[in-house]
Structure 1
Amino acid sequence: MTTHPVKPPIGPATRLCMSLAARPGQFGSRFHNRLYERLGLDFVYKAFTTTDLPAALGGIRALGIRGCAVSMPFKEAVIPLIDGLEGSAAAIDSVNTIVNDDGRLTGYNTDYSAVAQLLDRAGIAPETPFLLRGSGGMAKAVVAALRDRGHRQGTIIARNRATGQGLADLYGFIWTPELQTQTAPLIVNVTPLGMKGPEAAQLAFPQAAIVAAETVFDVVALPSDTPLMRAAEALGKTCISGAEVAVLQALEQFVLYTGIRPDPELVDEAAAFARAT
């Protein structure tokens, strides 16, 4: 039987990490706290929301909160309230992680780095053309990661002209409001299509685009077996799921906060625990 260090009881030395989101979820809290427990770390992680972002950031600084995950709609709004941006956040002007070093708050974007790592792991060549559906905050992280890997041929599909064309122009790609007959070796969904709720049964790309693709990437994490992922898996395509993004970006946050990189087996166990209801 594997033994783990004993986690100290919560006390004055306990370090707090947190998240800020409009709709707080449980994955991050369960993932981080499970790793703290398994590694015997004197840390606690708690999810929050706020209607007063400047006060929340002031609290992080004043109370010595070690780290903060940042979700929509705060990813860009926090930038003027912190002291600097690391390269991953500066590349896209979007922050999903704040690290507090003795009162200095630095912004990172572990979504960006997670996407880049997953594309590398899948062996996708930088010259691979892509179709990407979506133009929100996460789409910006994915498009920036693709551009910075060297992808030069890509189409952003988004009904919202302002955000869709703006995103395409920012990174040097093409925008179209609707997907017609276009296909590409890499297709990426960065919309809520397939997510739990009213759009859970919708396929993010038509069957013809899935058949023509070599790799299918869906950032929807809950559920990870979206209609797009099921269709791609049935065709034997290389698949990258939103669950992989969620775990890898949370892992990189954990490393930033604690300075410790857990063994892969422990990460898998914590991820499984975090997904369980």
Structure 2
Amino acid sequence: MPERGFMKIALASDHAGFKLKEQIKAYLKQKEFEIKDFGTYSEESMDYPDTVKLAARAVANGEYERGILVCGSGVGAMLVANKIKGIRATLCPDEYTADYSRKHNDTNMVSFSGRKQSINEVSHLLDIWLSTEYEGGRHQNRLDKISRIEEEESLQIDALTKVYCIIGNPVKHSFSPAMHNAAFKKEGINAVYVAFEVTELEMAVRGIKALGICGASVTIPHKINIIPCLDEVSEIARMIGSVNTLVNKEGKIFGTNTDAEGFYKALSLKTEVNNKNIALFGAGGAGRAILFALFYYAKPAKVFLLDTDKEKQKSLKENIDREFLSGKHKTEIKLETIEKDAWSKIKDKVDIIINATPIGMEPDYNFSILTLEEIPHGCTVMDIVYHPHKTRLLQYAEERKCRIVYGIDMLLYQGVLQFELWTGRKAPIEVMRRALEEKVYSSNAL
């Protein structure tokens, strides 16, 4: 049993639990606990939600450290308490539950049966429950997930709610709503992020203006074709020829590309990029954004571009050369297109490997752009594929003692940049990361 006066305890019952509640109150007062009785105060018939909610709210807001409930079975009171955000209430039929509901679940309310349990039994169980400490550790991750479920279910929408969205086709698979809604809730922003499957792109942009939608993410197949529909486009988006983010500036739609900077942020947090030799696999849309980002945000020593499509390789190199060798950003860059057959000749020169192809994505998770032996020992390997979380390439990289960068990190940081553009606030990065990771887990990607 805890020391005298160690806790402030809230009590509540219905008419069926009144007698036992009074006995519990007397028992705890002998131990000199500070007690608040939220009723009921007689055996006259009443509805248990009316008293239980008062005690539960007092515990949830920190006025009281623990709460003890009694109704006919104990079940009804427990159900009501668990509807209050922050409450973890348990029935308590035996010593095991009294002990482990505290150790593993950090329960802050306990519920007893006024019809089936005696004060002798309950006082013994309370001695255990009130004196047992929460163990934390691995159990905290599970409680954090419960808290996030509470946050997700407590979304309130009213006439002042700001609307953000993702437009694409398809969008049902998108992880972005989970990430952005978690961020809005964490920051207390009255906003919601929803998904719209769009086929008529020009009409959709007009709708964003007309409806006052504050911002949007853009995904396949619209990242390129949306550019002529916009009022203004950022320099990096113009260079890449792709927009993934819209901001509604008083009816003027501004487009930018946070994929590029999101990639760079994810990579640069794990390794230095300047003056490094980098091998980029993939000259498609993702590879294009990444290659522009490498030269726009950093100064790598050299980039080797690999793709099975020689025309794509050639076209992308020409675009890069035009922008960085003779354009506004005139600077010295070293970009070489090579074939996979030449990998053995350059691999030991490479500091960073980036996979910007879909190879290794579900359901083809057994595939990799490189074999185990083809990965240089101790380099940095980034795979933009995030489904599964740890691709075969990254598994190989770990075996080769490489530093690895997950695809989900690029997705995270492009979203972080979107959130900050839209709200002007610093993004709750870890909240957004957990939301993404939960979506990956729930989709059986791991």
Task: Give TM-score scaled by structure 1 length.
Answer: 0.91
**Number of equivalent positions:** 275
The letter for the 1-side match of 2:427 is P
**Partner in structure 2 of residue 97 of structure 1:** 245
Q: Per-residue deviation at 1:33?
A: 1.2
Which secondary structure state, in structure 2, belongs to the residue aligned with residue 223 of structure 1?
coil
Match of 1:15 among 153, 162, 186: 162
If asked which structure has higher relative contact order (CA below 8 Å, sep 6+), I would say 1
Shift of 1:116: 1.7
- Shift in Å at residue 169 of structure 1? 2.5
Aligned counterpart, 2:216: 68
Q: Is the 8 A contact 2:275 2:301 kept in 1?
A: yes
> Counterpart of 1:210 in 2: which secondary structure?
coil
User: Aligned pair 1:175/2:343, yes or no?
Assistant: no
Counterpart code for 1:248: Y
Q: Among 7, 23, 33, which residue is 2:181 paired with? A: 33
Which residue matches 1:235? 400
Change over 3 Å in CA distance of 1:208–1:124 after alignment to 2: farther
Q: Percent identity?
A: 27
Q: Please, which runs of 5 or more residues in structure 2 have no aligned partner?
A: 1-59, 62-85, 87-146, 322-334
Residue 371 of structure 2 contacts residue 396 of structure 2 at CA under 8 Å; is this kept in 1?
no
Q: Is the 8 A contact 1:165 1:175 kept in 2?
A: yes
Amino acid at match of 1:168: K
Q: Secondary structure at the match of 1:18?
A: strand
Higher deviation after alignment, 252-261 or 61-70: 252-261
Q: 1:93 to 1:101 in 2, by over 3 A?
A: same
Name whichever of 203-212 and 185-194 sits farther off: 203-212
Output the CA distance in 1 between the equivalents of 2:236 and 2:229.
Answer: 18
Aligned equivalents of 1:276 and 1:178: distance in 2?
A: 33
CA distance in 2 between counterparts of 1:204 and 1:84 reads 38
Report the CA distance shift for 1:14/1:263 in structure 2 as closer, same or farther (over 3 A).
closer
Assess, with a 3 A threshold, how the Cα gap between structure 1 residues 106 and 171 changes in structure 2: closer, same or farther.
same
Match of 1:161 in 2: 310
2:200 alignment partner in structure 1: 52
77-86 or 143-152: bigger deviation? 143-152
1:54 counterpart SS class: helix
Q: How does 1:1-277 map to 2 (within 5 A)?
A: 9-24=156-171, 25-148=173-296, 149-172=298-321, 173-180=335-342, 181=344, 182-183=346-347, 184-197=350-363, 199-212=364-377, 214-277=379-442
Give the match's secondary structure for 1:47.
strand
Seen in structure 2, the aligned counterparts of structure 1 residues 79 and 152 have a Cα distance that, compared at 3 Å, is farther
* SS of residue paired to 2:373: helix
Once the 2 structures are TM-superposed, how far is the Cα of residue 108 of structure 1 from its aligned partner? 1.3
Amino acid at match of 1:192: P
Given that 1:128 and 1:151 are in contact with CA atoms closer than 8 Å, whether structure 2 keeps it comes out as yes
Contact 1:155 1:168 in 2 (8 A): no
Mapped contact 2:223–2:243 kept (Cα < 8 A): yes
> Shift in Å at residue 177 of structure 1?
4.3
Closer, same or farther in 2 for the Cα pair 1:32/1:125, shift >3 Å? closer
Does the residue aligned with 1:122 lie in a helix, a strand or coil?
A: coil
Note the alpha carbon deviations across 1:206-226, whole angstroms, 9 max, x for none. 333313561111110111200
Distance 1:89 1:105, change over 3 A: same
CA contact (8 A) 2:271 2:380 kept: no
How far, CA to CA, are the matches of 1:130 and 1:192 in structure 2?
19
Provide the rounded CA distance (Å) in 2 between the counterparts of 1:89 and 1:179.
33
Paired residue secondary structure (1:208)? coil
Q: RMSD value over aligned CA atoms?
A: 2.2
The one-letter code of the counterpart of 2:340 is: E
Shift of 1:152: 4.5
CA distance in 2, matches of 1:179, 1:215: 21
* Counterpart residue identity of residue 219, structure 1: I
**Which structure has the greater CA radius of gyration?**
2
Distance, in Å, in 2 between the alignment partners of 1:163 and 1:191 is 13
Flag as ranges the 4+ runs of structure 1 deviating above 4 A.
1-4
State the Cα distance separating 1:192 from its structure 2 match.
Answer: 0.7
CA distance in structure 2 between the aligned counterparts of 1:64 and 1:240, rounded to whole angstroms: 37
